[in-house]
Structure 1
Amino acid sequence: MQACVIAAPQRAALQTVDIPEPGEGQVLLRLEGSGVCASSLPLWEGRSWFEYPQQPGAPGHEGWGRVEAVGAGVAGLARGDRVAALSYRAHAEYDLADADAVVPLPASLDGTAVPGEALGCAANIFQRSQIERGQTVAIVGIGFLGALLTQMAVHAGARVIALSRRPFPLEIARSCGAQHVVPLDDHYKVIEQVKALTEGRWCERVIEATGLEWPLQVASELTAERGRLVIAGYHQDGMRQVNVQLWNWRGIDVINAHERDPRRYVQGIREAVHMMQDGVIDPRPLYTHRLPLDRLGEALELTRTRPDGFLKALVTA
Structure 2
Amino acid sequence: MISNQAVQEQSPVTEKTSCTKTAILKAPQTVTVEERELPEPGKAEVRIRLEGSGVCASNIPVWEGRDWFDYPITPGEPGHEGWGVIDKVGQDVTSWKIGDRVTALTYNAYATHDIAKEDSIVKLPASLNGKPFPGEPLGCAMNIFDRSDIQKGQKVAIVGSGFLGTLLVQLAKSAGAEVIAVSRREFSLDTAKKAGADHLIQMNDHYEIIEKVKELTHGNFCERVIECTGKEWPLNLSIELTGERGKLIVAGFHQDGMRNLNVQMLNWQGIDMISAHERDPQQYINGIKAAVEAVEEGKMDPYPLFTHRFSLEEMGQAYQHLTERPEGFIKALIINQK
Select 1:29's aligned residue among 48, 56, 61. 48
Measure how far apart 1:183 and its partner are.
0.2
- What residue in structure 2 maps to residue 314 of structure 1? 333
- Equivalent residues in 2 for 1:36-55, closer than 5 Å: 36-55=55-74
- Equivalent residues in 2 for 1:1-317, closer than 5 Å: 1-317=20-336
SS in 1 for 2:187: helix
SS in 2 for 1:100: coil
- Identity of matched residues, %: 56
TM-score normalised to structure 1 length: 0.99
SS in 1 for 2:37: coil
CA distance in 2, matches of 1:76, 1:16: 30
**Match of 2:192, as an amino acid?**
A
CA distance in 2, matches of 1:208, 1:87: 26
**Match of 2:51, as an amino acid?**
E
CA distance in 1, matches of 2:193, 2:160: 13
SS in 2 for 1:128: helix
Measure how far apart 1:54 and its partner are.
1.1
2:121–2:285 CA contact under 8 A, matched in 1? yes
TM-score normalised to structure 2 length: 0.93
Measure how far apart 1:111 and its partner are.
1.2
**Match of 1:192, as an amino acid?**
E
CA distance in 2, matches of 1:310, 1:101: 30
Measure how far apart 1:295 and its partner are.
1.0
2:95–2:118 CA contact under 8 A, matched in 1? no
In the TM superposition, structure 1's runs of 4+ consecutive aligned residues that sit over 4 Å from their partners are: none
CA distance in 1, matches of 2:88, 2:296: 26
**Match of 1:272, as an amino acid?**
A
CA distance in 2, matches of 1:314, 1:129: 27
Give unpaired runs (5+ residues) of structure 2.
1-19
Q: CA RMSD in A?
A: 0.7
Measure how far apart 1:112 and its partner are.
1.2
SS in 2 for 1:147: helix
CA distance in 2, matches of 1:62, 1:214: 28
Q: How many residues align?
A: 317
Give unpaired runs (5+ residues) of structure 1.
none
- What residue in structure 1 maps to residue 8 of structure 2? none
Measure how far apart 1:264 and its partner are.
1.0
Measure how far apart 1:148 and its partner are.
0.4
SS in 1 for 2:161: coil
**Match of 1:106, as an amino acid?**
P
Measure how far apart 1:247 and its partner are.
0.6
Measure how far apart 1:10 and its partner are.
0.6
